[in-house]
Chain A
């Protein structure tokens, strides 16, 4: 697990958001530093497997059109002009 301390999505997200809120409200830091600290905290706590999962989820979901096209590819004879 690369740089991953936990496998849950909740923990890094909650810690990151807490970093931002504590930085801005309690430490009175600029939003810039609070957001940067939050980003680093989330990155450190996120396991590599989760990153791959998030990537796959955003790129692999087929649209209805893709599904229809895939169905057509399975049955080339039914396409116009193919007899």
Chain B
């Protein structure tokens, strides 16, 4: 690339990033939109809440949010789960803050740590980490961080009350979903199954050549998520009436996916240009052979996130700075830990320059001050807890 003019370098990097994640994001949006349109997301949430019972409703909300944040983007997830939190508050007459915080605790960490959400997806492509490793690492880190957030939420809820301010308007109308939870889980579980099958097959864990060949073809990540999108569309077409409905679902998925793919591709170009400055060399020497690289990376992600608000942009910028280190032989741990540190750092503190902050504040009826005191502080706790898990993992299980 050294001989090419700057505009061409940016253009090539833009195309390379689009090629890596474009189809994945598009098909993930189709799955998410099908789950939203058919009511499958709500069916999963209701089933999880029934599983945990009314006494553990907050844990149920956090669990459902964590699972649903993988196929559904966070803003949509929050709007989907909010009526359930309101219904629970109207039933119990208390704990509204706990329910809101439970949704945030489950949803935010999965959003930053578990692919195929766009941020983690881009980070693992840049660092050369495989999807299954990041999904496992992200889930473990995210669950511990969400549990820490939930503990904080319980503590806060015991001495702080947030009223349901628009109680009349807030009486939720929960329409019956078109699909049951079991059907709704199929497009979420299917790509996991296919990709895991391909991973196990590649490691020789599947003895039958035909099965191994099947998983090698269908478990390639673009193919696996395309199959999931096709299945989700099939279920939607079966359960919902009218061909126009499917066209509307696809159109809405495309409208959601297109700006994200463009932003991620522009971010890819930005990250590649940062990598070409050789800025990763600045991390070499003092930190490359030590675990301090993990908190340093998280700190950079946190600084960029706090400065400009977007989690995805923070992740893209940070990975552009450290991507050169991931291939280095002297990195003392698996690069998945760098990816997880970036995710934790980027989730550190939501404030007024973050669009998600306003979605959560306005739709839940909290004031800005209340949102800062509750959701933003809880995010900080979760980021710190996640970072501790990542450092412990890199120390105890470096995978090198």
Chain A residues with a Cβ under 8 A of chain B: 2-3, 9-10, 12-13, 16-17, 20-21, 24-25, 30-36, 38-40, 42-44, 46, 48-55, 57-59, 61-64, 66
Contact = CB atoms under 8 A, between A and B. Distances in A.
Contact of B6 (A43, A52, A54): A43
Interface of B: 1-3, 5-7, 9-10, 13-14, 259, 262-263, 266-267, 269-270, 272-282, 304, 307-310, 312-313, 316-317, 321, 324, 327-330, 353
A69 B215 CA distance: 33
B278 A9 contact: yes
A20 B327 CA distance: 27
A40 to B, nearest CB: 6
B6 A3 contact: yes
Candidate in A33, A39, A48, A58 with the most chain B CB atoms within 10 angstroms: A39
A40 B308 CA distance: 19
A2 B269 contact: no
A61 B304 contact: no
A39 B2 contact: no
A50 to B, nearest CB: 5
B329 A61 contact: yes
A35 B267 contact: yes
B278 A54 contact: yes
A46 B308 contact: no
Given A31-B312, A61-B328, A54 B280 contact: yes
Given A58-B324, A61-B328, A63-B329, A13 B304 contact: no
Given A20-B270, A30-B263, 20 more contacts: A2-B2, A2-B3, A12-B277, A16-B270, A17-B304, A21-B304, A32-B259, A32-B266, A35-B267, A36-B269, A42-B276, A43-B10, A46-B273, A46-B276, A49-B2, A50-B278, A52-B2, A57-B281, A58-B275, A58-B327
Contacts, number: 135
Contacts of A10: 279, 282
A52 B276 CA distance: 8
Name which of A10, A24, A51, A55 has the most chain B CB atoms within 10 A of its CB: A51
A17 B279 CA distance: 12
22 contacts: A3-B5, A20-B317, A21-B307, A24-B309, A30-B263, A31-B266, A31-B312, A31-B313, A35-B263, A35-B266, A35-B267, A35-B269, A39-B10, A39-B273, A42-B274, A43-B6, A51-B2, A54-B277, A55-B276, A57-B280, A57-B328, A58-B328
A64 B304 CA distance: 35
B73 to A, nearest CB: 14
A53 to B, nearest CB: 5
Leading 10 A-B pairs by shortest Cβ distance: A43-B6, A42-B273, A35-B266, A54-B278, A39-B270, A39-B269, A51-B2, A9-B277, A51-B276, A9-B279
Contact of A25 (B2, B272, B307): B307
Contacts of B1: 51, 55
A54 to B, nearest CB: 4
Contacts of B263: 30-32, 35
Contact of B266 (A17, A25, A36, A64): A36
Given A39-B10, A40-B10, A48-B2, A53 B278 contact: yes
A61 B353 contact: no
Contacts of A20: 270, 308, 313, 317
Contacts of B280: 54, 57
A54 B308 contact: no
